[in-house]
Homo-oligomer: A and B are copies of this chain.
Amino acid sequence: MAKRIGRDTLLTEHKPRILHTAAVVGQKEGGGPLGAYFDMVYHDTLLGQDSWEKAESTLQTEAVKKALKKAELPPEEVQYIFAGDLLNQCTGAVFGLRSLEIPFLGQYGACSTMAQTLAMASLFVDSGLAERAVAVTSSHFCSAERQFRFPLEYGSLRAPTSQWTVTGAGAAVVGHGYSGPYVAAVTAGRITDLGITDSNNMGAAMAPAAAATLTSYFNDTGTHPDQYDLIVTGDLGSVGSTLLYDLMDREGYDIREAHTDCGLLIFDRLRQKVNAGGSGCGCSASVLCGYLMHCLRKGELNDILFMATGALMSTTSSQQGESIPGVAHLVRICNG
């Protein structure tokens, strides 16, 4: 049975393993620094579909199929799929996963979804609720832009604090195994809202949630940032990362030496002109399931804190003057 320590942290008992992962991305992501670590780079923005939303669904389909293929598992040997995304009513997941016929438990955590789905899959396997479970999420630059911002055809100028939604998906198959990376701990986050209202500055909106969850984890476990090979946030970008350092300083934890952010890893910010970095559910999903899992399997990383953050707003809530609450979920991944 998983063991609760401190207020918010669960330690797993049976080392639920991340058996296999797959990451698929678009052309811009494939042309970035991590291009070599993705399983597939699609040069057609539409992935052969007739809408960007269907293209996003296809990203989820392909990521799951590739991860299952690596695991040599047919879909019927998976008991649950935990999935979500940021499209209205999570249609990226629904239409992308419909054909797989795996029992579907939709998750909503905005850009924290990869951490949330991986946490759920791992806790289900660790508790014996499933032999195997899949975690998956996605985002697509074009479907996100038109849903949350402006039609692409407007050619809107982008604020310096804005981030670039990643076109990509990541999927992880969790189950039992004798070696390889496993989920050692999970800290679920609270909804945190310091009153940020600028929807062109998601990093600032999400940093307080990241600081709250990371502080809970350190307090619960009695550990410090320098005990980990890497503390990697989902998509705080450059602005949010700097804010996170300041917020963590106030809690007595200097994370600068140990921290990086998936939104800063996936793009070369200056060359690729993405302003404050990458974002979207697919950002942390593709970086985790591609690059980070590669480093874990190689033994170049052996103990990381993966913490994805979500901005919990809608266009309606922003139009009605609401601030942007954030949430961050943390998953500790170890080798051994």
Contact = CB atoms under 8 A, between A and B. Distances in A.
Given A88-B88, A314-B89, A109 B110 contact: no
Interface string A90-127: 11011101100111111111100000100010011001
A53 B98 CA distance: 29
A273 B54 CA distance: 37
Interface in A56-115: 79-80, 84, 86-91, 93-95, 97-98, 101-110
Nearest to A13: B128
Contacts of A54: 320
- Tallying the copies of this chain within the complex gives 2
B317 A95 contact: yes
Contacts of A51: 320
A194 to B, nearest CB: 12
Contact of A127 (B1, B79, B107, B315): B1
A190 B193 CA distance: 35
B325 A94 contact: yes
B98 A320 contact: no
Nearest to A53: B316
B105 A106 contact: no
A251 interface: no
A10 interface: yes
A191 B127 contact: no
Contacts of A89: 86, 88, 108, 110, 312-314, 317
Contacts of A79: 4, 8
A128 B1 contact: yes
A167 to B, nearest CB: 17
8 contacts: A2-B129, A88-B88, A88-B316, A95-B322, A98-B325, A101-B190, A102-B190, A106-B107
